[in-house]
Amino acid sequence: MTKILYANDLTACFSLWRKEGMRVLGPVSKAKTSGFGEVQDAHELDLNLVLTARTLKELFFPRTEPMFSYSIGKQKIETGEFLPSENPCIIFGARPCDAAGMAIDDELFNWDYRDEYWFRRRDRSVIMTIACKESDDFCMCTSLGLAPDSAKGSDVLLRPLASGNGWRVEELTPKGGKALQPIASLLKEGSEAAAPTAEDPLLFDLEACTTWLADPENFESHFWKEISERCIGCGTCTYLCPTCHCFDIQDEGDTYEGIRRKNWDSCSFQLFTMHTSGHNPRATQSARWRQRIMHKFNYFSDKFTVNSCTGCGRCTRECPVDMGVRETLQAISTLQK
């Protein structure tokens, strides 16, 4: 016997959570794209998407956010803080790859400095993930050591019922358990079977790839130039990546009054590493693509013992010239043989 949440009860759940002062967010298709947005009613959710175009990270790490303001007057200097103060939220219907991405970035944002902007939002949110029944041509979580029903990063895992009427509910963390309390009356005991999880074939040998990447001999390999020849240097893959977390600090205003903001930045851009002198240590696009791959599968794992890729496949799915992590790792896998 296990707890079951029926789809018909979802809107009632949302009301109960709202009564507790929690906002409810989930995958929505709006204005020709999809991402996570606040909803009132279950019908607003688009739970049939394999994956939203935009990732979960935007909820914790917005593309632009004010950090503080300053104004310098003749008499006094004033500063203002903008620490996140949104109400706690339930994120209903995240995908396992996105949820895993948040757990990976937790380590980064709590490494040499605890990023209050990230953690204030993380601490006040509960991620309820729905295991995938379907994958598409770009999914590759299995190849990254995860799975269409990975629990990593989630507080509650929901397994879709074979009947399509609801989900089997698995509580994963105390935070998840607490979020289920207000809706306890709507969780029914049952033994209905779950639908089979998606098939996500193994596309490359990750260990072989990381071994190749770790060999300093390969850093200057011609491979990097060939694999990234068509890269146009836009930031799509990084901005739509659940784990890419680089940002830039910008002061908007003037000497006397302004706001300091934290904006997304991307290693794909020429400007990212441009020195004040005009020298650029990553002068070519192939060096930038190499950096992206090395960061995910070598530098990050050196520091945090985990790769910073969850196999969501968005980099390939959304790339204007059909590149992505998948092609690169598949190619490296072949080099090994």
Partner 1 sequence: MSIQEQYRSRAKELLREGTVKMVIGYGAGTTPLRRRPIFITSPDDADRLVLDAACRTNLAGYLLREGLLADQKSVAVFLTPDGVRTINILAAESQLATEQVIVLGFQIDGENARQLEGTRVADFSGIIAERKKKRKEQPSHEVARKLEQMTSVERFAFWEGEFSRCIKCYACRAACPMCWCRRCVVDNNQPQWVNTSSHTLGNLEWNLVRAFHLAGRCVECGNCSEACPVNIPLHLLNRRMTEEVLTAFDYYPGADEHQEPVLASFRKDDPETFIL
What is the number of alpha carbons within 13 Å of residue 40 lying toward its C-beta?
0
Query: Which letter does DSSP use for residue 274 in this model?
Result: -
**271 touching partner 1, by CB under 8 A:** yes
Distance CA 209, CA 207 (A): 5
Site stretch for partner 1 (CB under 8 A), options 76-84, 85-93, 189-197, 260-268: 260-268
Alpha helices by DSSP H, the chain: 10-19, 96-109, 116-123, 174-180, 206-214, 223-227, 236-239, 285-294, 300-304, 314-318, 325-336
331 binds partner 1 (CB under 8 A): no
Is 246 a binding residue for partner 1 by CB under 8 A? The answer is no
> Which one of 220, 320, 334, 335 is in contact with partner 1 (CB under 8 A)?
320
Please, what's the largest Cα pairwise distance for the chain?
71
Return the number of the residue (180 or 323) whose C-beta is nearest partner 1: 323
Contact residue for partner 1 among 163, 263, 334, 336 (CB under 8 A): 263
Q: How far apart are CA 328 and CA 315, in angstroms?
A: 11
Do 25 and 94 touch, CB atoms closer than 8 A? no
Q: What are phi and psi of 224, to 5 degrees?
A: -65, -40
Q: Which residues in 62-121 contact partner 1 (CB under 8 A)?
A: 63-64
Beta-sheet strand order (sheet of 125-130): 33-38, 23-30, 89-94, 125-130, 156-160, 166-171, 2-6, 187-190
Kind of pairing between the strands at 156-160 and 166-171: antiparallel
Which residues within the stretch 1-30 sit at the binding site for partner 1 (CB under 8 A)?
none
State yes or no: residue 261 binds partner 1 (CB under 8 A). yes
32 lines the binding site for partner 1 (CB under 8 A)? yes
User: Does 33 contact partner 1 by CB under 8 A?
Assistant: yes
Query: Residue 251 Cβ, how far from partner 1 at the closest point, in Å?
Result: 8
Residue 150 CA to residue 176 CA, distance in Å, equals 15
Q: Is 173 in the site for partner 1 (CB under 8 A)?
A: no
Instruction: Specify the stretch interacting with partner 1 by CB under 8 A; choose among 113-121, 210-218, 258-266, 304-312.
Output: 258-266
**Measured from the CB of residue 283, what is the shortest distance to partner 1 in angstroms?**
9
Q: Which of residues 122-141 bind partner 1 (CB under 8 A)?
A: 137-138
Q: Please select the residue that binds partner 1; options are 23, 54, 159, 296, rule is CB under 8 A.
A: 54
Binding site for partner 1 (CB under 8 A): 31-33, 53-54, 63-64, 137-138, 229-230, 232-236, 238-240, 248, 250, 252, 261, 263-264, 266, 269-271, 316, 318, 320-324, 326-327
